[in-house]
Amino acid sequence: MGRILAIDYGKKRTGLAVTDMLQITANPLLTIATSELMAWLTQELAKGEIEKVVIGHPTQMNGQDSESMVYIQPFINWFHNHFPTIPLIEYDERFTSVLAHQAMIASGMSKSKRRDKSQVDKLAATIILEDYLSSLLINR
């Protein structure tokens, strides 16, 4: 059983989270400049530890795609072309940034650290991954 990687894709920065080998826990990994994401994925996925990838799919309150899908869809297409054997699951990411901020406050993180958007990005990826893992348990 391999790990699951979660991606919270953004125009400037992308948050990443990963499960343990048993796919039980979601852990923040890093925040990377989006311009460096493709090279990073190529290197990391070549190691063979990642079984599947979950990417946040931004939607509006009415369930339709948000405007940010305009810049996420080309990445999704690139991923499918470069890694056709690795499943890429699009997962609803509504409110993950809000939940990430709330979690940071609840954990007692200082205001200056909460302003660090890289912290929010990797925590949002972790929330996406936790939600995805929970959905697997519910659908069993």
The CATH number of whichever domain residue 66 belongs to comes to 3.30.420.140
Spatial separation of the C-alpha atoms in residues 101 and 23, rounded to whole Å: 25
* Interior angle at CA 103, CA 12 and CA 10, nearest 5: 15
Report the number of distinct structural domains present in the chain: 1
Note the pLDDT of residue 98. 56
What mean pLDDT is predicted for residues 114-119? Answer: 61
Note the pLDDT of residue 68. 81
Note the pLDDT of residue 36. 97
Range of the domain at 53: 3-138
What does pLDDT average to over the chain?
85
- H-run or E-run covering 78: helix 69-82
Note the pLDDT of residue 53. 98
The whole-model pTM stands at: 0.85
Q: Looking at the predicted structure, is the pLDDT value of residue 100 above 60?
A: no
3-state class (DSSP) for residue 124: helix
Q: Measuring CA to CA, which residue among 48, 40, 8, 47 is closest to residue 26?
A: 8
Residue 27 token pair: 């852990």
Lowest average pLDDT, out of 47-51, 62-66, 76-80, 119-123, goes to 62-66
Note the pLDDT of residue 123. 86
Note the pLDDT of residue 97. 57
User: What is the CA 24 to chain-centroid distance, rounded?
Assistant: 16
Residues 120, 15: contact at Cβ < 8 Å? Answer: yes
Per residue in 76-91, pLDDT (tens digit) is 999 999 999 999 999 9
Residue 90 token pair: 């699009």
Per residue in 5-49, pLDDT (tens digit) is 999 999 999 999 999 999 999 999 999 999 999 999 999 999 999
